[in-house]
Amino acid sequence: MGKEDDRGEEYLFKIVLIGDSAVGKSNLLSRFSRDEFDTNSKATIGVEFQTQLVEIEGKEVKAQIWDTAGQERFRAVTSAYYRGAFGALIVYDITRSDTFQSVKPHCDTAVAQMLVGNKCDLEDIRAVSVEEGKALAEEEGLFFMETSALDATNVDKAFEIVIREIFNNVSRKLL
Ligand code: GDP
């Protein structure tokens, strides 16, 4: 959703987090929005979002980032979750191949999409190579980044690239 007002422009972008249970979606969001990591992750029922302010080219952008909040465990994530999303972070866990296999069907959800291989701090038990991640992202036309919500590697960067890409798309349309 991009909207304009008389004083200039205001931007509100819906971004969704997608991926199997326990890949680290909630922690990526808490790292980005509050710079926190939560080891005792609790599955909240019901979709939740957090709004984060980002400044791009002197403009205030509100990123409304939606987390499935445990609903993927019950396969209850519906089309309402994806509706109106301008961006998506499609997350897998680099230590679990099954979570990498799961991402492909989700690769056409939104305008700006980033494939995210999370838990890159766990190099010793890596099961999905960087090359595999890159190759899938290239095939599907997505940005790609490996992150760690635990040690904060690339977390802000991943969100910001998606937000900036949406901003660029939206401002092109407003011209
Ligand atoms: P979600 O179900 O996808 O939202 O996943 P959570 O954010 O709840 O995380 C699932 C588990 O993985 C929790 O035990 C987290 O502490 C752990 N976790 C999340 N991100 C990372 C990370 O970057 N590195 C490591 N080592 N563990 C992580």
Closest CA to 68 of 18, 10, 139, 4: 18
Going from the C-alpha of 14 to that of each of 20, 25, 87, 102, 141, the distances in angstroms are 20, 16, 7, 22, 20
Task: Kindly report the protein residue whose alpha carbon is nearest to atom 24 of ligand 1.
Answer: 119
145-171 pLDDT, tens digit per residue, is: 999 999 999 999 999 999 999 999 888
Burial of 8 (0-12, 13-18, 19+ CB in 10 A): exposed
80 has pLDDT over 90: no
The one-letter amino acid at 27: N
CA angle 136, 118, 89 (to 5 degrees): 65
What pLDDT does residue 75 have?
59
Q: Using the atom order of ligand 1, give the atom closest to the CA of residue 70.
A: 2
User: Cα of 44 to ligand 1 centre, how many Å?
Assistant: 14
User: Cα of 18 to ligand 1 centre, how many Å?
Assistant: 14
43 has pLDDT over 60: no
- Structure-block tokens of residue 52: 């984060």
Sign of the C-alpha dihedral, residues 107, 36, 95, 165?
positive
CA angle 26, 107, 55 (to 5 degrees): 55
pLDDT band at 46 (very low <50, low <70, confident <90, very high): low
Task: Kindly report the protein residue whose alpha carbon is nearest to atom 2 of ligand 1.
Answer: 22
Q: Using the atom order of ligand 1, give the atom closest to the CA of residue 118.
A: 23
What pLDDT does residue 121 have?
98
Q: Is the ipTM of this complex over 0.90?
A: yes
What residues line ligand 1, using a CB cutoff of 6 Å?
Answer: 19, 21-27, 39, 41, 118-119, 121-122, 148-150
Q: CA gyration radius for the chain?
A: 16
